[in-house]
């Protein structure tokens, strides 16, 4: 079977605005330095929805999903660190450990194995097809499928004693937020923090700030149901933007003696919030970290806010290097909904509900 094409089921996105269809697809054997993974669980991230909407590049048909956990079914030539039967997480960042970026200690964006947006493997081809058409991948993986092929450099082993359902939540959202506070912002003990958007990414940022010793962690969301979730992960104050006519900047400064916070994490992906994030930080030293993925590639930035010494920084996967510093968490608080692969469109409805944080997609169990 290792050298054969596998026919299996996958959730296929055929175009912008179209419902997902569970189709029979073909998954090729792994080529050199690749592994084929039998997926057990996956989850849904808002970034998948932006891909479904054709951002940053409208590539269809496509198998979505970039969070998940599975078992290595077969390996291609040259794969040294993985074996058949290993439990693994496919990721969208890699770490060669040798390139300029990996050795710098300043970024997690590997130059040898970069993030990919073209929906193809590193050799420019696809390993999936449906009805005679090539299927596009998401980043370096497509987890909403019973089987997927991933370059081994974008795969991390999972401790087999770990709850593999929870492991799928580590592949993007929560880890991204946690890493942004830990690695990218390097939140200092005793500092003040604000987090806009208390989904999985935002809750990760809250937990990361607490872990770093922040003295005040302000959670901001328009959904009042997120207040208790935020407190569970270390939030000290909550702002419900629907309950005030004031701007986010005014509300944050109202909780910080008019000064603003040391660090502001924008996790909602709203382009209009970039300036609010900047202006909610302290002049001279405040840092605004952009984590949320927006559908608009260009935003207007208040130059004066930057001129007064504030820093605006982007963050991919929270600055985490997948092989060097991948954290472990207890993530039971995140799970709110479960679906099977055949119920993928139900998951897209659940994500709109106010109590939704993370949806577990059961695939190979």
- What's the CA gap between 64 and 201, in Å, rounded? 19
DSSP structure string for 220-265: EES-TTHHHHHHHTT--EEEEGGG-SS-HHHHHHHTTTTS-BSEEE
Query: Quick one: which of 154, 171, 157 has its CA closest to 33?
Result: 154
What's the rounded Cα separation, in Å, for the pair 347 and 361? 8
pLDDT of residue 110: 97
The structure's pTM equals 0.95
pLDDT score for 1: 60
Q: How far apart are CA 155 and CA 72, in angstroms?
A: 10
Q: Which residues of 310-328 are buried (b: 16+ CB within 10 A; e: fewer)?
A: bebeebbbbbbbbbeebbe
Number of CB atoms found within 10 A of residue 62's CB: 26
Tally helices (H) and strands (E) across the chain. Answer: 10, 18
Per-residue pLDDT of the chain (365 residues; tens, 9 = 90+): 668 999 999 999 999 999 999 999 999 999 999 999 999 999 999 899 999 999 888 999 999 999 999 999 999 999 999 999 999 999 999 999 999 999 999 999 999 999 998 999 999 999 999 999 999 999 989 999 999 999 999 999 998 888 888 888 999 999 999 999 999 999 999 999 999 999 999 999 999 999 999 999 999 999 999 999 999 999 999 999 999 889 999 999 999 999 999 999 999 988 889 999 999 999 999 999 999 887 778 888 999 999 999 999 999 999 999 988 877 777 888 999 999 999 999 999 999 999 999 999 999 86
Cis peptide upstream of residue 61 (ω within 30 degrees of 0): yes
Q: Which of 261, 260, 313 is nearest to 288 (CA)?
A: 313
Lookup: tokens for 103: 């050795």
Residue 117 and residue 56: Cα distance in Å, rounded? 8
Torsion angle of alpha carbons 307, 313, 314, 315, nearest 10°? Answer: -170
Q: Which of 241, 235, 237, 207 is nearest to 223 (CA)?
A: 241
- Find out whether 167 and 360 touch, Cβ atoms under 8 Å: no
Distance, first Cα to last Cα, the chain: 20
> Which token pair is 54?
């054709």
C-alpha angle 267-270-273 in degrees, rounded to nearest 5 = 85
Tokens of 361: 């997609």
Residue with tokens 């830990």: 182
3-state secondary structure of 202: helix
> What pLDDT score was predicted for residue 297?
80
Q: What are phi and psi of 40, to 5 degrees?
A: -105, -50
Q: What is the pLDDT of residue 91?
A: 95
Contacts of 45 (CB under 8 A, 6+ apart): 66, 67, 172, 173, 200
């Amino acid at each position: 079977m290792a050298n054969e094409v596998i026919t299996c089921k996958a959730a296929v996105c055929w175009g912008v605005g179209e419902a997902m269809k569970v189709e029979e697809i073909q998954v090729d054997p792994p080529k050199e330095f690749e592994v084929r993974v039998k997926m057990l669980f996956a989850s849904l991230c808002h970034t998948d929805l932006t891909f479904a909407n054709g951002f940053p590049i409208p590539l269809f048909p496509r198998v979505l999903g970039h969070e998940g956990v599975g078992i290595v079914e077969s390996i291609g030539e040259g794969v040294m660190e993985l074996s058949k039967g290993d439990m693994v997480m496919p990721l969208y960042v890699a770490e060669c450990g040798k390139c300029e970026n990996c050795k710098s200690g300043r970024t997690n964006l590997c130059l040898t194995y970069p993030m990919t947006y073209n929906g193809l493997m590193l050799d420019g081809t696809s390993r999936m097809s449906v009805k005679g058409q090539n299927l596009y991948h998401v980043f370096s993986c497509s987890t909403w499928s019973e089987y997927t092929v991933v370059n081994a450099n974008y795969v991390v082993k999972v401790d087999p004693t770990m709850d593999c359902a929870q492991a799928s939540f580590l592949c993007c959202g929560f880890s991204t937020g946690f890493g942004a506070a830990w690695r990218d912002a390097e939140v200092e003990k005793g500092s003040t923090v604000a987090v806009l958007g208390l989904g999985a990414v935002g809750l990760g940022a809250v937990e990361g700030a607490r872990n770093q010793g922040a003295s005040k962690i302000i959670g901001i969301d328009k959904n009042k149901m997120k207040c208790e979730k935020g407190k569970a992960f270390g939030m000290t104050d909550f702002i419900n933007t629907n309950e005030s006519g004031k701007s986010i900047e005014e509300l944050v400064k109202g909780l910080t003696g008019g000064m603003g916070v040391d660090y502001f994490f924008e996790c909602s992906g709203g382009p209009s919030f970039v300036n609010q994030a900047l202006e909610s930080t302290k002049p001279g030293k405040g840092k605004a970290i952009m984590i949320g993925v927006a559908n608009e590639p260009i935003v207007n930035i208040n130059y004066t806010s930057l001129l007064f010494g504030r820093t605006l920084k982007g963050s991919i996967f929270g600055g985490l290097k997948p092989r060097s510093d991948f954290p472990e968490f207890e993530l039971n608080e995140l799970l709110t909904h479960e679906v099977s692969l055949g119920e993928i469109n139900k998951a897209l409805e659940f994500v709109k509900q106010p109590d939704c944080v993370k949806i577990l997609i059961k695939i190979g169990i």
